[in-house]
């Protein structure tokens, strides 16, 4: 079975947290795509909503949101995830991974989109208005 290292970043506080999961806890993550919003109870953070922002596979190749499927492929890049051009107009053929989480993925990057406190605060403000 797969084992994932999940990096959860909190944009409000500017900190990140590393969580390792394995066994039956990884099943809800397999088949998800970059950009999907998940419930935080999957990784032990109840009351939060998490957005999948990227990751990398066992060989270190990054996931790209514009490559469909869970495949590893070589594409011509001019910038973005997986290639940082040194000169203006430079392009290079690089190996990257698709946007779907498979068992070959080792690290998944996520960010907190919504917390229970934020939701509670919004409800209170709408009730008082």
User: pLDDT tens digits, residue range 21-73?
Assistant: 988 888 999 999 999 999 999 888 888 999 999 999 999 999 999 999 989 99
d(CA 113, CA 111): 6
Q: Is the pLDDT of residue 18 over 90?
A: yes
Number of domains in the chain: 1
- Domain assignment present for 41: yes
The answer to pTM > 0.95 is no
Q: Are 62 and 49 spatial neighbours (Cβ–Cβ below 8 Å)?
A: no
Q: Is the model's pLDDT at 101 over the cut of 70?
A: yes
Over residues 66-99, the pLDDT tens digits come to 999 989 999 999 999 999 999 999 999 999 999 9
Output Rg (C-alpha) for the chain, integer angstroms: 17
Residue 104 exposed, middle or buried by CB count within 10 Å (0-12, 13-18, 19+):
middle
Q: CB of 35 within 8 A of CB of 22?
A: no
What's the pLDDT score for residue 68?
Answer: 94
Is residue 45 domain-resident?
yes
- The answer, yes or no, to whether residue 118 has pLDDT greater than 80, is no
| Per-residue model confidence (pLDDT) at position 47 | 87
Residue 29 covered by a domain: yes
Pairing of strands 92-97, 37-39: unpaired
Domain assignment present for 88: no
Instruction: Tell whether 73 is covered by a domain.
Output: no
Given this model, what pLDDT does residue 123 score?
A: 65
In a 3-state reduction of DSSP, which class is residue 17?
A: strand
55, 72 contact by CB (below 8 A): no
pLDDT at 120: 65
Say how far apart CA 18 and CA 28 lie, in whole Å: 18
Q: Which domain holds residue 31?
A: 3-67+100-128
Q: Indicate whether 104 belongs to any domain.
A: yes
> What residues are paired with 70 via a beta bridge?
none
- Count of residues making up the chain: 129
- CATH (domain of 19): 3.10.20
Query: Residue 17 falls within a domain, yes or no?
Result: yes
């Amino acid at each position: 079975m797969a084992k994932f290292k999940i990096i959860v970043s909190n944009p409000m506080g500017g900190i990140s947290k590393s969580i390792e999961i394995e066994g039956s806890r990884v099943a809800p993550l397999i088949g998800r795509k970059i950009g999907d919003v998940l419930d935080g109870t999957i990784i032990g953070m109840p009351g939060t909503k998490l957005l999948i922002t990227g990751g990398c596979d066992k060989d270190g190749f990054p996931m790209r949101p514009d490559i469909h499927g869970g495949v590893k492929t070589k594409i011509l890049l001019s910038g973005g995830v997986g290639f940082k051009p040194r000169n203006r107009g430079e392009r290079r053929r690089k190996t990257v991974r698709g946007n779907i989480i498979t068992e070959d993925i080792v690290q998944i990057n996520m960010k907190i989109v919504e917390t229970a406190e934020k939701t509670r605060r919004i409800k209170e403000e709408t009730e008082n208005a």
